Structure 1
Amino acid sequence: MKRKYLGKTDLNLPVVSVGGAAFSDIYGSFNEARAIHFIRDCLFRGSNYIDTGFWYGQGTSEAVIGKAVEEVHRNAFYLGTKVGRYEKDIYKMFDYSAERSIACVDSSLQRLGVKYVDLIQVHDVSFGDFDVILRETLPALQKVVDAGKARYIGIADYDLDLMKAIVEESEVPIAAVLSYAKSTLLDNRLEEYIPYFKSRGVGVINAAPTGMGLLTNSGPQLWHPASAEIKSLCRQAGIICKRRRVELAQLATWFSLQTDADTTVCGLNCLDQLKDVTRVLEEGLRYEEKSVLRELQLRYFNRGTLHWDKVELQRYKARMAAMPHPQE
């Protein structure tokens, strides 16, 4: 597995990393025993950075990963997790306070069965107050680093401009940004921001190359925030791929891997998927795959940037505004 250093850190990450959301109910049911074996296969094959967070199954993903690595030497793998996004209950979904952030790290370490994580990230910063994140969350995570419970601090979000602003304003060093669904056939804006982040010594983690399941033959989960128009377009692309015996996720992942990010987090759940991703990374696309990709780019993915900017945030704010104030 090819490797790159994450920004100015000493984390020498694989170009293809493992996304922990797959080890929860976010993308449907999963088999814990198979997930554990798969994670161990990934580590053995050199894909040894695993990115997770409490939000993925409200701790389920962290617990599964913890079981998978419990007999693996700690120096053989890298772990990243997150604070800030928690429960499905809308009132308890987000909390960026210092107290909750520090407590979350402690509970994550317990589930993961480790003494430290390599990267602790603020999850979905769009949903927090900008000043709270700068003055409370990030300083709390600096205390976590100072205590030896994490090595580096990062931020994760869909909004590239917001992450750029936090990097510029934060007094706490930001080692990495995690951008998801912004290096895809639909929306390739991450490429425009990478030079800025690298100029600041900030590592770039590229996640969700399939746009959280949009760019797959099977299509996304019902919760996906993209518009009906975007989903329809991707569904048509998937139909063509099925007819040509090609997997749309393979084409999308290959495209995403062309970015200059330090690592790409892929939502894999079986060894065959890891082998397929490794194959396109090392060998590129086959003739038929190249032909189908050209067709899809001409027919569907030539309409400018297709995105769901602010959609989730606006829905969250609307729900909060419509909800009665919870009883004390």
Structure 2
Amino acid sequence: MRYRLLGRTDLNVSELAFGASPLGSVFGAFAEQDGIAAVRTALDAGINFFDVAPYYGATAAETVLGRALRGVDRGTYLLASKVGRDGRADFDFSARRVKRSVTESLRRLGTAHLDLIQCHDIEFGHPTQIVEETVPALRELQSEGLVRHVGITGYPLPELAQLAVRAGVDTVLSYCQYTLHDRRLAAWEERFREWGVGVINASPLAMGALTRRGAPDWHPGSFGFHTRCAEAADACEVVGGDLAKLALQFSAQTTPAATTVIGTSSSEEVRRNVACLTETIDQELLVAVETCLAPVRDQGWTSGPAAEQDLRREGRL
């Protein structure tokens, strides 16, 4: 396992990070003991960066992760959580709420501090409030030793970049935008580096779309996008390949980010994911999959309150 500094922070993160959203059953049911075993397997494999949020499973993911890390030397892993989002349509970026949220997360995770606290899905908040109220409140917690670094997460890259500069944050987490299908994050790499902002790449499987099983019903991608992903999965299966493996290999091995976060809930998945870091990418298979995805290349989706309303009208939420 290789490690990289996250921007100008002192966080030396593993190239593969443990995404804890599946511990909140975000992508389907799982056995809690399997999730706990997955965390321990990740630690044994050298993964030291764990990303979670109160939103995942209505605090369940933080609770399970906290149980899994109980008794583990706190100096051997880095914890990142989030504030501002508590439910599908429940956002509160006020100073009072985010401070209380951090206290609640610390309790669930069984730790005295978070290595990184992030404003969750900033496109749902008001930029001025996040710059003038939310981030300053988190900086206060930083001065108290409760958090070490402050970041933001979100989907629209221009908004994420603009707010990163305005708020002067330490990190950004971008999801679904450095994958086999969408590589727009790469175009921002140099600017984030110049600004000294550490970059975290999350969801290399495009929230389940780049898998044989396919995405959950709530996925915001278009019908055409999902159709092309299914064709790509078929192309892999024909030659005995696996779309999810190829997607993770591509993202983790070529990413412009310091680390790639992938959601995991079993030890088997962890071992398989870690193996992808060193296995050679099948170039013929990559070309075949890129051909399938070419019509939807770099075509994402909208994210924000209006997009949520559209999903509800379509009956996907």
TM-score range, shorter chain: over 0.9
Greater relative CO, 1 or 2 (CA 8 Å, sep 6+): 2
Partner residue of 2:277?
A: 281
Query: Shift of residue 256 of structure 1?
Result: 1.0
Aligned partners of 2:170 and 2:198 also within 8 Å = yes
Partner residue of 2:261?
A: 265
Sort the Cα spacing of 1:278 and 1:284 in 2 relative to 1 into closer, same or farther, 3 A. Answer: farther
Q: What TM-score, normalized by structure 1, do the two folds share? A: 0.91
Alignment of 1:1-328 (within 5 A): 1-88=1-88, 90=89, 93-170=90-167, 173-257=168-252, 258-285=254-281, 289-301=282-294, 303-310=296-303, 312-316=304-308
For 1:65, the aligned partner's letter is L
Partner residue of 1:323?
A: none
Aligned partners of 2:218 and 2:311 also within 8 Å = no
Aligned partners of 1:94 and 1:127 also within 8 Å = yes
Q: Deviations over 1:155-187 (max 9, x none)?
A: 0001111111112212xx411100000001111
Q: Structure 2: how far apart are the matches of 1:319 and 1:212?
A: 16
Q: Structure 2: how far apart are the matches of 1:39 and 1:302?
A: 37
Query: Shift of residue 274 of structure 1?
Result: 2.3
Secondary structure at the counterpart of residue 26 of structure 2: coil
Sort the Cα spacing of 1:271 and 1:301 in 2 relative to 1 into closer, same or farther, 3 A. Answer: farther
Aligned partners of 2:224 and 2:296 also within 8 Å = no
* Runs of 4+ that moved beyond 6 A: none
Secondary structure at the counterpart of residue 272 of structure 1: helix
Q: Structure 1: how far apart are the matches of 2:309 and 2:291?
A: 37
Query: Shift of residue 302 of structure 1?
Result: 5.4
For 1:168, the aligned partner's letter is V
Query: Shift of residue 36 of structure 1?
Result: 0.5
For 1:227, the aligned partner's letter is S
Q: Structure 2: how far apart are the matches of 1:187 and 1:253?
A: 13
Secondary structure at the counterpart of residue 294 of structure 2: coil
Query: Shift of residue 87 of structure 1?
Result: 2.2
Q: Structure 1: how far apart are the matches of 2:181 and 2:311?
A: 28
Query: Shift of residue 317 of structure 1?
Result: 5.5
Aligned partners of 1:185 and 1:301 also within 8 Å = no
Q: Structure 2: how far apart are the matches of 1:242 and 1:283?
A: 18
Q: Deviations over 1:106-159 (max 9, x none)?
A: 000000000001000000000001111111111111111111110000000011
Structure 2, unmatched stretches of 5+, are 313-317
Query: Shift of residue 236 of structure 1?
Result: 1.4
* Number of residue pairs matched by the alignment: 312
Q: What TM-score, normalized by structure 2, do the two folds share? A: 0.94
Secondary structure at the counterpart of residue 86 of structure 1: strand
For 1:234, the aligned partner's letter is C
Aligned partners of 1:18 and 1:267 also within 8 Å = yes
Aligned partners of 2:235 and 2:288 also within 8 Å = no
Query: Shift of residue 37 of structure 1?
Result: 1.0
Query: Shift of residue 295 of structure 1?
Result: 1.0
Aligned partners of 1:116 and 1:150 also within 8 Å = yes
Q: Structure 2: how far apart are the matches of 1:139 and 1:60?
A: 28
Identify which range, 149-158 or 249-258, moves more after superposition: 249-258
Structure 1, unmatched stretches of 5+, are 321-328
- RMSD of aligned alpha carbons: 1.7
The percentage of counterpart residues that share the same residue type is 34
Query: Shift of residue 275 of structure 1?
Result: 2.4
